[in-house]
Amino acid sequence: MPSSKPKPSEVATETKRHYLPAIKARYADRTHSYLFQQPLEQIPLQSYPCPQTVSPPQFHICTGDPVDFTTEWEDSINQRIPLICAANDKKPGGDWETGVVGYEERLCRRSSLFATLSTPGPQSLLPANYPIPSEGGIYSECVVVFRGPHDQYKKLDRWKDLPVVSIPPARWPKLNQMGTKYAFPLERDLVKNKIRAALRICVYYGHTSVVIGDFGLGNGHRNPPQELAELWREVFLYDPDLRGRFDYVTFCFEDALQSTAKLILDDIAKKAKGGHSHDSKNKSKSHSSASSSSVGGPTVPSDFEIFKHVFNPSELQDLMSRPDPRYGISMLMS
């Protein structure tokens, strides 16, 4: 019996031929986006009023489709909420017209994201949004969603829309020998600046709540999940320009079982195994050993579990109760 699941390429074709022209005609004044080449320099947050009292946002870690979660949240509080989405830095939507399964590609097939990314806004300083600089990002004010998630791409009876902040994550960065941290401080700083850039764009457009998917995680990017989660936490809690500016933050994981840590460890084991490929017996033993060490039985946590732990309220309370040696006392008391 043939599968009822549509082919991604066919969904993309229908989106490009039928939906996007209709959306461009209906929402012509909002089907565009703005590229920030250097948000950390272009958006001086000192000019934006800072809250009188600085308190951390309420963090929520959940599973589900990030777009569906965001639009339902928008409806419940009647407020615009942006989704921070991993982006291809070379072209809008990456290879969304083929079967590529990255979240940006899947979102382009079910929404107007490709059209907004492809169209610089009327006040844009540049004729094109691409390529996106390493610390740059694109803001799409109104991305119209007309299909459900990629498991069926079901056509929606009621279209929805949401803002999207598109940021290119670090892709397969060099890690330490254990695969748990970035190998170089410069790499870590770059990832931190990408996070700061995304959040600055949100603040620039007046957003105080935000949804973040599995940004920088999964097989396509392979950032170390524990350190990445701690970087998000560090920016939200301690960045002098951003702390106190967000009320609610949700990390929404499409796949509750995805484990980037396991992908990284399996790759390390595979490379170690390759060094003994000259001997089939040793190769077999190496495979067995690498498999158990990379998986670590049931102990290798999923990305969802890691973020759940890093943003656990008791963990946050303990962290906030002691001075952070990375920051001066004057900043912590301000």
Residue range 192-205: average pLDDT? Answer: 98
Query: Confidence class of residue 279 from pLDDT cuts 50, 70 and 90?
Result: very low
Query: Confidence class of residue 330 from pLDDT cuts 50, 70 and 90?
Result: very low
Q: What is the pLDDT of residue 274?
A: 76
Q: What distance in Å separates the CA atoms of residue 26 and residue 20, rounded to the nearest whole number?
A: 10
Q: Is residue 1 scored above 90 in pLDDT? A: no
- The percentage of the chain sitting over the pLDDT mark of 90, rounded to a whole number, equals 79
Report yes or no: 163 and 81 within 8 Å, Cβ to Cβ.
yes
Q: What is the pLDDT of residue 298?
A: 54
Residue range 156-160: average pLDDT? Answer: 97
- Please write the tens of the pLDDT for every residue from 2-53: 557 899 999 999 999 999 999 999 999 999 999 999 999 999 887 666 665 6
> Which of 278, 203, 287, 212 minimizes the C-alpha distance to 61?
212
Q: Is residue 285 scored above 90 in pLDDT? A: no
3-state secondary structure of 224: coil
Residue range 147-165: average pLDDT? Answer: 96
Q: Is residue 287 scored above 50 in pLDDT? A: no
Tokens 């670590």 locate to 296
DSSP 158: E
Q: 56 versus 276: which is more confidently predicted?
A: 56
- Please write the tens of the pLDDT for every residue from 94-104: 999 998 889 99
Domain 11-258 superfamily per CATH: Leucine Aminopeptidase, subunit E, domain 1 (3.40.220.10)
DSSP 250: E
What phi, psi does 52 have (nearest 5°)?
-65, -40
Q: What is the pLDDT of residue 220?
A: 94
> Which of 172, 212, 219, 179 minimizes the C-alpha distance to 195?
212
Q: What is the pLDDT of residue 261?
A: 98
Residue range 223-251: average pLDDT? Answer: 97
Do you find a cis peptide bond into 131, omega within 30 degrees of 0?
Answer: yes
Mean pLDDT lowest among 68-82, 283-297, 299-313, 318-332: 283-297
Mean of per-residue pLDDT scores for the chain: 89
Q: Is residue 295 scored above 60 in pLDDT? A: no
Q: For the chain, what's the residue count?
A: 334
Q: What is the pLDDT of residue 119?
A: 98
Q: What is the pLDDT of residue 50?
A: 64
35 Cβ contact partners less than 8 Å away, ≥ 6 residues apart: 120, 124, 126, 129, 132, 136, 137, 138
